[in-house]
Structure 1
Amino acid sequence: MSKIRIRNFGPIKKGLLQHEGWIDITKVTIFIGNQGSGKSTVAKLISTFSWMEKALVRGDYNRNWFERKNRLKNTFLKYHRLDTYFEEGALDNSVIEYQGNAFYIVYENGELRIKEIENQNYSLPQILYVPAERNFIAYVKSPNELKLSSDSLKEFLTEFDNAKRSIKGSISIPINNVELEYDKLNEILNIRGNDYKVRLTDASSGFQSLVPVYLVSKYLAESVKDQSDNEESMSIDETKRFKDGVKQIYSNDNLTEEQKRVALSVLSSKFNKTSFINIVEEPEQNLFPTSQWELLKKLIEFNNMSRSNQLIMTTHSPYIINYMSIAVEAHILKLKTNNDSLLQKLNEIVPLKSTIASNDLSIYQLDETNGTITKLGDYQGIPSDNNYLNHSLANGNRLFDSLLEIEQEI
């Protein structure tokens, strides 16, 4: 399991107050908090350092290349537009530590240091960052149409383009009993119901928000699963690097045949993507609560396609946290019974593919007033309802009670 520790970076000052500051990146990790508290900052740092580790494992660049002065700021943090957190001329006291399964990476005192971890157990990931700005994507035919300042949004647009082109016939959308179809000739996505068909550009904002995250998540989760099952599935660049690696192994006369076989096995595992890191900002965006639940079930299902997959989300929605509690309780019940009838009843409430073990879930809440992070507790594995989002709902009730008190005095 990878983890990250952050201090004095953007809105995050003291960082996590527990576990010596280490944020565990579990199979499902959720960040909640007010605007400007740093939820997206943490998610983007996880995305950045996960990609750096991937590039190091795959041999895209060596450690010296990464460790050059200002490389982190000017190249990698700029990708998610986090480079602006470093004020020119100010003392840089930011500390970011990332411990992955293959490399330990630390940024401190303005310098980046990298150390390889021995006995690594690493799954090469497909990393996706789903930005909150995804709604307008419905209006874009091709990523080449736009000149964007955000590299992460450009990459998401490219994956969206690949995903819609992969549609054969139509696919089901998890809300309103509708299907999505792609008109390849005119490059148009259509929403089809029982008695209507509309372009995605003319559909509701909820569809325009849901379709990109659902379609790309489904496409990449299934692609990674296919790659895991097919060891020969590589990109052109990966194939070239793999062949170069094979030549080096076979030309090494110091290795026995058995050692060469083991080396080839290790090399192959480095180039085949066997996990999917899905980082989603605000999955609830523009969605009715029941639609949030339908999308969440699918995101968990995609995440469960591989043990190495990870789902990381930022959210303002109390429904997302409550629904995660339902997914955890369903998993607990699933493990308690082998009764087919009860499992069928359970599956009708929560699909068995969409449950999550309590120890695979971590929820962190961020405080914008002091730059701290705390880990949300649980009760017998179920996430605690003592969190900012539920407090906001309760505060609405208190405000209404106060108004009723005034009414009684009139």
Structure 2
Amino acid sequence: MKHLIIKKLGPIQDVEIELKRINLLIGEQSSGKSTINKTACYCSWVEKEISIAQSPADFEKKGIFELRFSEFHKLNGFIVPETYIEYETDVMRFSFSKKEDAFHFEWKDRWAYIRSKTIYIPAERNIVAAIPNWFDVNLEKNNIRSFMSDWEEARNYYSNEPTQILDLGVKYAFDKNNRKDTVMISENKTLDFTNVSSGLQSLVPLWLLLKYVTEGIYKERQKDSVAREYQNKKLIDRIYSWVLKAGGTSYLLALKDFGIPRKIYNIKHYFANKEQAKEFERIAYHFINLHYSNIFLEEPEENLYPFTQRELIYQMVALLNGPRAHNLFITTHSPYILTSVNNLLFASAVGKSKKKESQKIISQKYWVNFEDVGAWFVKNGSVTSILDPKLKQIKAEKIDEVSRKLNREYDKLSDLEYEVD
């Protein structure tokens, strides 16, 4: 359960939504879609930071919650005296009130947290192609810099061999020695990344990052910084102290290699019994290791042909349907994005009674359960659900209002043309 409330933040007046595994926001430009996305992203990160520190003290310092939020997501001027943000999960509940200039916090189940990777992929992602020497630029500490840091990790991870970009017959490659990005558009033609189409400049970093945060990052252990190692060591000590509260130290557990580096945490721990030791193992495993990713994505359709938008959504869902419970939050202007998701919802629904026949049309790896989706239309500072609980789809009339208006205009002109004088 993830519940988000936003009041009086930039263009947002009053929003309350229950976040699902796949979340979609559509609406006109400047309607507040990105503001909701950024707020959800920031709150997800705050939950992680408090859980790992096992204390909200840092965010309770005067002005810290607001300052970090405004700087990272470039929201200066968005926060007003009436601004209020509230976020609740199974682990904790916290809120920020600008009027009170206070951050309020309460634990719900502090040891239920499962560590995740939170990533924000901005609409400006083609900057990595547009500015060849971006890694030499002194950037502010905001979501663009964070995105570039994640991009650096991803392209280094996939540098050993060219990576296929969807099913477009295009491959991306990164030469670590020369720090050169190239795109193979055919067997005989390779272009510098800065010279490919705007669509590929937007799609390549998006697809590579999606693959990395849903697959690659979990295939090899990420090296922790010295600060993170120290933080994890303190976290292990806190978990041990909490589990040991029942008393007794007769049972010895030598830490097994369940994801915690022996060289850092190979300390003898004593417990009252095996059950207590297993509880320690379970909590430590959840807190120290990454288990899934929270992906916050702006405008996946950017510079893409409609058919490619469809392919991107299908392949994106296939990544989400892997062994880990990843979450996705999308803002979009594209009816093709919503229509693509609708087809996957419909395939899942039809597949419950006609599985084999449905799989011949749309493979099961792309299917989406209706219960896993949240979809809203953003207008006038608030949101309206565009899901039809009876049909278990996104409401057809909300997918492409512009096309319907154009069709009505065309029909009126057609009637006029054939009108009998």
TM-score, reference length from structure 2: 0.85
Shift of 1:216: 0.8
| Aligned AA (1:70) | G
Q: Counterparts of 2:133 and 2:386 in 1: how far apart (Å)?
A: 41
Aligned with residue 28 of structure 1, among 22, 31, 38: 22
Shift of 1:406: 5.2
Residue 401 in structure 1 maps to residue 411 in structure 2: yes
Alignment of structure 1 residues 371-410 onto 2, 5 Å = 371-378=381-388, 379-387=390-398, 389-405=399-415, 407=417
Residue 361 in structure 1 maps to residue 350 in structure 2: no
Aligned with residue 49 of structure 2, among 45, 55, 60: 55
Equivalent residues of 1:4, 1:25 under 8 A apart: yes
Shift of 1:137: 1.5
User: In structure 2, what is the equivalent of residue 240 of structure 1?
Assistant: 230
Structure 1 stretch displaced more, 214-223 or 235-244: 235-244
Query: Residues 255 and 386 from structure 1, CA distance in 2 versus in 1: closer, same or farther, beyond 3 angstroms?
Result: farther
Shift of 1:175: 4.4
Higher strand share: 2
Q: Which runs of 5+ in 1 are unaligned?
A: 16-20
Shift of 1:407: 4.5
Equivalent residues of 1:171, 1:179 under 8 A apart: yes
Equivalent residues of 2:294, 2:328 under 8 A apart: yes
Query: Residues 242 and 34 from structure 1, CA distance in 2 versus in 1: closer, same or farther, beyond 3 angstroms?
Result: same
Q: Counterparts of 1:152 and 1:295 in 2: how far apart (Å)?
A: 23
Equivalent residues of 2:52, 2:287 under 8 A apart: yes
Shift of 1:312: 0.6
- Give the CA RMSD over aligned residues: 2.5
Residue 317 in structure 1 maps to residue 334 in structure 2: yes
Aligned with residue 189 of structure 1, among 170, 181, 194: 181
Q: Identity percentage over the alignment?
A: 26
| Aligned AA (2:385) | K
Shift of 1:195: 3.7
User: In structure 1, what is the equivalent of residue 161 of structure 2?
Assistant: 169
Query: Residues 142 and 267 from structure 1, CA distance in 2 versus in 1: closer, same or farther, beyond 3 angstroms?
Result: farther
User: In structure 1, what is the equivalent of residue 58 of structure 2?
Assistant: 65
Equivalent residues of 1:143, 1:154 under 8 A apart: no
Aligned with residue 99 of structure 1, among 77, 88, 92: 88
Equivalent residues of 2:90, 2:109 under 8 A apart: no
Shift of 1:267: 2.5
Aligned with residue 217 of structure 1, among 204, 210, 214: 210
| Aligned AA (1:103) | M
- Aligned residues between the structures: 387
Equivalent residues of 2:23, 2:373 under 8 A apart: yes
Q: SS at the partner of 2:13? A: coil
Equivalent residues of 1:234, 1:271 under 8 A apart: no
User: In structure 2, what is the equivalent of residue 113 of structure 1?
Assistant: 104
Shift of 1:224: 4.7
Residue 39 in structure 1 maps to residue 33 in structure 2: yes
Q: SS at the partner of 2:302? A: coil
Query: Residues 255 and 274 from structure 1, CA distance in 2 versus in 1: closer, same or farther, beyond 3 angstroms?
Result: farther
Q: Counterparts of 1:310 and 1:249 in 2: how far apart (Å)?
A: 27
Q: Counterparts of 1:216 and 1:408 in 2: how far apart (Å)?
A: 54
Which of the two has higher C-alpha Rg? Answer: 2
Structure 1 stretch displaced more, 351-360 or 141-150: 141-150
Q: Counterparts of 1:311 and 1:181 in 2: how far apart (Å)?
A: 26
Q: Counterparts of 1:213 and 1:245 in 2: how far apart (Å)?
A: 33
User: In structure 2, what is the equivalent of residue 18 of structure 1?
Assistant: none
1:38-73 Cα distance to aligned partner (Å, 9 max, x none):
1000000001010000001111x7312211221121
